[in-house]
Amino acid sequence: AQTVTQSQPEMSVQEAETVTLSCTYDTSESNYYLFWYKQPPSRQMILVIRQEAYKQQNATENRFSVNFQKAAKSFSLKISDSQLGDTAMYFCAFIFSGAGSYQLTFGKGTKLSVIP
């Protein structure tokens, strides 16, 4: 079974500062994708960033970037220049094609608060 672990239930960061959210996963697969989803207080799940396991280059989307360490099975999210609108739950998720599954496995989430 695939597992995704987010070891930080809650974090806080000052506005305009940088914060890193941790995610580790366990799999024997070699071909998979990783995602970070954001869930603001409105509860809608929004895709923040995605990373293909076969790509060595870390994905970047504006102020959001990842540090993908395949050997260590680590997939952390860095948020630069934090804004009040970044306050949300953040979920790390994993998908692979083993046994025709293609199902998303989610971590339990990290609650991020951006402090003015």
Partner 1 sequence: DGGITQSPKYLFRKEGQNVTLSCEQNLNHDAMYWYRQDPGQGLRLIYYSQIVNDFQKGDIAEGYSVSREKKESFPLTVTSAQKNPTAFYLCASKVTPYSNQPQHFGDGTRLSIL
Which stretches of the chain bind partner 1, using CB under 8 A? 9, 32-33, 35, 42-47, 50, 52, 91, 95-97, 100, 102-104, 106-109
Instruction: Establish how many alpha carbons lie within 13 A of residue 16's alpha carbon, considering only the half-sphere containing its beta carbon.
Output: 1
Degrees, nearest 5: CA angle 26-22-108: 70
Q: Which amino acid is at 31?
A: N
Nearest to partner 1 of 10, 17 (CB atom): 10
* Residue closer to partner 1, measured from CB, 56 or 116: 56
Smallest separation (angstroms) from partner 1 to the CB of 72: 21
* For partner 1, the closer CB: 15 or 108: 108
Rounded distance, CA 6 to CA 75, Å?
A: 10
Distance of alpha carbon 13 from alpha carbon 51, whole angstroms: 24
Residue 18 vs 113, nearer CB to partner 1: 113
Least distance CB 16 / partner 1 (angstroms)? 29
Q: 3-state DSSP call for residue 60?
A: strand
Q: CB of residue 17 vs partner 1: minimum separation in angstroms?
A: 26
